[in-house]
Amino acid sequence: KGALKIENEYIRVLFDTNTGLISKIDNLHKNLSLPVTQSFYWYSASTGNSESGQPSGAYIFRPKGEAPFPMSKKVQTYTVQTDLFQEVYQNFSSWCSQTVRLYKNQKFVELEWTVGPIPVGDNIGKEVISRFDTPLKTDGIFYTDSNGREILARRRDYRPTWNLSQTEPVAGNYYPVNSRIYMKDGKIQLTVLTDRSQGGSSIKDGSLELMVHRRLLYDDNRGVGEPLSEPGYDGNGLIVRGKHFIFLETVDDSAELHRLQAQAEYMAPWTIMAEGAGTPYSSH
């Protein structure tokens, strides 16, 4: 019966009726609308090939092919809607899920993802990404930060100080993302804030991706001497949970939003409990 959606005063998120994936984000205050498809994919880790024996490992990201595998083409969803927040739960697979959340009066969409333990019973190392696909015309340009200080423009298959002969179309375009990555056309900017350092890129125009988890079966021969395969507390593999904060704004007004929110995230309030009734108190 109509598309699933969540919305507050500022933002509306629509979900595809058939797939259950995010399909569109609207900024209601600025009257901006952007078709966005967000989903999880995994790259098959290289174990070396005829061009190079270099496997993917702790130091080296080297996928086997350029196209990642979709975690799921269709996700199961259910929604919880209250006066304070609205959430859509998306189940991608037995080891990947996400909550899409909009709190009252918040100007961004919160994605809380849970990934792992990554199965490797098929003897394939996997590097999992969250990818946002849009029709934005970005001309191969995207932006990543260095600890939220200097935002650097990155251009696909290009280095500013030498003539690059690109041999790794995916890994060769990955950059460190300490707190944010964004892309824009002349009018709209889509910004993703992270809660931890990750690798990220824009492999195609209008697309952003962030690597959220990886589990590998071979050492990359760069010194660590063991495959990157964290066992987790029960030995079955690590489960990670994190957040991405999505801003859809005009190019002019984006920085004020994402910089303030990144500060608030980096220095989030501590929550400390105590037994008993306590006494109301607020410091000055």
Partner 1 sequence: IGDSSVLRKAMGVAQHHDAVSGTEKQHVADDYAKKLAKGWDRCEVLVSNALAGLSGLKQNFIFCNKLNISVCPRIEELGQFTVTLYNPLARAVNVFVRIPVNGTRYTLTDPKGSSVLNQIVPVSDFTKAVRKDRGYAVNELVFQARVPALGFSIYSVSRKSDSAVFRRPPPRR
Q: Give residues in contact with partner 1 (CB under 8 A).
A: 4, 58-59, 76-85, 89, 91, 97, 99, 103-105, 114, 222-226, 228, 230-231, 239, 241, 263-264, 267-284
Please tell me the distance from the alpha carbon of residue 21 to that of residue 243, in angstroms, as a whole number.
Answer: 17
Closer of 8 and 33 to partner 1 (Cβ): 8
Q: How far is the CB of 145 from partner 1 (least distance, A)?
A: 16
Alpha-carbon separation of residue 87 from 103, 107, 149, 167, 206 (angstroms): 9, 15, 32, 42, 26
Q: What is the DSSP letter of 33?
A: E
Q: How far is the CB of 73 from partner 1 (least distance, A)?
A: 16
Q: Shortest distance, CB of residue 215 to partner 1, whole angstroms?
A: 12
Q: Which CB, 160 or 269, lies closer to partner 1?
A: 269
Angstrom distances, CA of residue 198 to CA of 129, 202, 219, 238, 247: 10, 14, 20, 16, 18
β-pairing verdict for 150-155 and 96-103: unpaired
Q: Check if the beta carbon of residue 37 is closer than 8 Å to that of residue 25.
A: no
The smaller minimum CB distance to partner 1, of residues 53 and 232, is found at 232
Residue 112 CB, nearest approach to partner 1 (Å):
8
Q: Which is nearer to partner 1, 136 or 216 (CB)?
A: 216
Q: What is the CA radius of gyration of the chain?
A: 20
Closest CB to partner 1 among residues 207, 221: 221
Residue 51 C-beta: closest distance to partner 1, Å: 24
67's tokens = 């196209």
